[in-house]
């Protein structure tokens, strides 16, 4: 029997019992759609995370250190990082300021999404991948002179000043006047909790506001990916001399850790892959159930077409021809189910991107789409193999007696 004839017979068999064929495909449709949606959303989450790190700035080190006696290691660590000019581009503390900012009738405490207030050095923008759009950035003089100045992110500037240029304007920070000296260029416009919604102050300005801010954490911007490992090793060696060996609990004077963005990304990628594997495995159970349904319906088909099989065997049809016919029918049913599953999975992926990933337009990749259809066809062939072999093994005399 030619392949074209086998396909015609397969479609005739499917169309002859539409409801039964649809119910048979249902497990495949749900399984394919589930696997596609889960894998696509997890890939979208990974892509979103990588995009965030790219906006925040690559080749960064996060360093956290403190002494048990309460003394700060910030000044020594800061100076040492600046000393590593061959490997380091910039360093800034990662301090947060708790304050209320007021301009006219705009008050940060009454905003639905108030700005994040950070204390940083004159190298904050280098470390965090910001660029000045208006005015100027923080300078070393601002830091050294404890100046009451600030730089706003694009979203924060819009929230306080609408479309007016804020450079040169004064805002009240806990009642003290601070001059806005610059506005950063927008880089994260589609996020409700945008990294553009920030206000940056010199880290020394905390003293003017009467606040004691924890300076245990700093961010270090390395020159390139090769410099990250070298800078990390040097900083760890330096902090070991101050805080003690982290593996020697008897002589420790403090605690420290260093972490790179690459480690964060690798960790998130591993978690995403693990979640995709677990959730994909759970969704794959429905594919297994669908495959069992295919085997069941093909066994029923063999019983219904016993006499037809007997006639074909009596006029000389080979067993291989019978097996091929039933495998094509099983593969066709699963293939059609796979196509409908891909359509449903695409719709669910778009909905999931909108609801779970902040309005992200997410499409399943071509590889996932083609793989899902191909896998469903292979699944049909695998689960249709036993019924096909059983059909081809019927004896013509016995089959012709069947009603």
pLDDT beyond 70 at 264: no
The Cα–Cα gap between 368 and 345 comes to: 10
The Cα–Cα gap between 357 and 352 comes to: 7
**In this predicted model, which residue has the larger pLDDT, 47 or 103?**
103
Pick the most confident of 86-90, 138-142, 328-332: 138-142
Using only C-alpha atoms, what is the Rg of the chain? 33
Which pLDDT score, from 0 to 100, does residue 23 have? 80
pLDDT beyond 80 at 400: no
Give whole-number Cα distances, 222 to 64, 122, 132, 168, in Å: 16, 16, 21, 33
Contacts (Cβ under 8 Å, ≥6 apart) of 372: 32, 35, 36, 338, 341, 342, 345
pLDDT beyond 80 at 317: no
Q: How many residues can be counted in the chain? A: 403
- What tens digit of pLDDT does each residue of 9-31 get? 667 767 767 777 788 788 888 88
CB 271 within 8 A of CB 2: no
Residue 361: which of 345, 375, 350, 348 has the closest Cα?
A: 350
Rounded average pLDDT over 195-222: 88
Rounded average pLDDT over 182-207: 85
Tokens standing for 180?
């806005």
Which pLDDT score, from 0 to 100, does residue 281 have? 72
The whole-chain average pLDDT of the chain stands at 82
DSSP code, position 123: T
Partner residues linked to 301 by β-bridges: none
Contacts (Cβ under 8 Å, ≥6 apart) of 218: 62, 63, 74, 77, 78, 81, 91, 92, 93, 94
CB 333 within 8 A of CB 14: yes
HSE-up (13 A, CA, CB side) for residue 331: 18
DSSP code, position 89: E
Q: With DSSP H G I counted as helix, E B as strand and the rest as coil, what are the percentages for the chain, rounded to 5?
A: 55, 15, 25
Using pLDDT thresholds of 50, 70 and 90, give the confidence band for residue 399: low
pLDDT beyond 60 at 402: no
CB 60 within 8 A of CB 261: yes
Q: Where are the beta strands (DSSP E) in 225-329?
A: 254-260
pLDDT beyond 90 at 156: yes
The phi, psi pair for 79, rounded to 5°, reads -65, -40
pLDDT beyond 80 at 228: yes
């Amino acid at each position: 029997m030619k392949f074209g004839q086998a396909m015609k017979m397969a479609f005739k068999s499917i169309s002859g019992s539409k409801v039964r064929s649809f119910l048979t495909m249902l497990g495949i449709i749900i399984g394919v759609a589930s696997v596609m949606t889960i894998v696509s959303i997890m890939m979208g989450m990974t892509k979103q995370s990588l995009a965030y790190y790219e906006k925040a700035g690559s080749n960064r080190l996060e360093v956290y250190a403190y002494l048990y006696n309460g003394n700060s290691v910030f000044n020594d660590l800061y100076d040492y990082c600046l000393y590593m000019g061959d490997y380091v581009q910039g360093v800034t503390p990662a301090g947060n300021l708790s304050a209320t900012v007021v301009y006219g009738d705009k008050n940060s405490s009454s905003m639905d999404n108030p700005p994040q207030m950070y204390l940083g050095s004159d190298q904050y923008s280098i470390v965090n991948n910001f660029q000045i759009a208006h005015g100027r950035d923080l300078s070393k003089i601002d830091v050294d002179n404890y100046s009451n100045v600030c730089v706003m992110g694009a979203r924060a500037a819009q929230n306080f000043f609408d479309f007016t240029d804020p450079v040169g304007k004064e805002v009240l920070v806990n009642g003290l006047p601070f001059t806005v000296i610059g506005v950063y260029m927008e880089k994260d416009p589609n996020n409700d909790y945008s990294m553009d919604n920030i206000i940056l102050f010199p880290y020394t300005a905390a003293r003017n506001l009467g606040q004691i801010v924890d300076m245990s954490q700093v961010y270090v911007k390395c020159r390139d990916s090769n410099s990250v490992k070298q800078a990390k090793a040097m900083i760890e060696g330096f902090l070991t001399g101050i805080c003690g060996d982290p593996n020697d609990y008897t002589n420790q004077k403090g605690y420290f850790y260093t972490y790179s963005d690459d480690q964060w990304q690798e960790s998130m990628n591993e978690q995403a892959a693990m979640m995709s594997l677990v959730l994909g495995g759970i969704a794959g159970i429905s594919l297994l159930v669908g495959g069992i349904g295919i085997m069941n319906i093909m066994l029923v088909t063999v019983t219904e077409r016993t006499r037809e099989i007997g006639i074909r065997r009596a006029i000389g049809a080979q067993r291989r021809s019978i097996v091929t016919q039933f495998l094509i029918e099983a593969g066709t049913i699963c293939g059609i189910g796979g196509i409908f599953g891909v359509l449903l999975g695409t719709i669910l992926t778009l909905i999931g991107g909108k609801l779970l990933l902040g309005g992200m337009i997410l499409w399943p990749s071509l590889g996932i789409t083609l793989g899902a259809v191909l896998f469903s066809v292979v699944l049909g062939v695998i689960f249709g193999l036993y019924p096909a072999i059983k059909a081809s093994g019927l004896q013509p005399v016995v089959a012709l007696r069947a009603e």
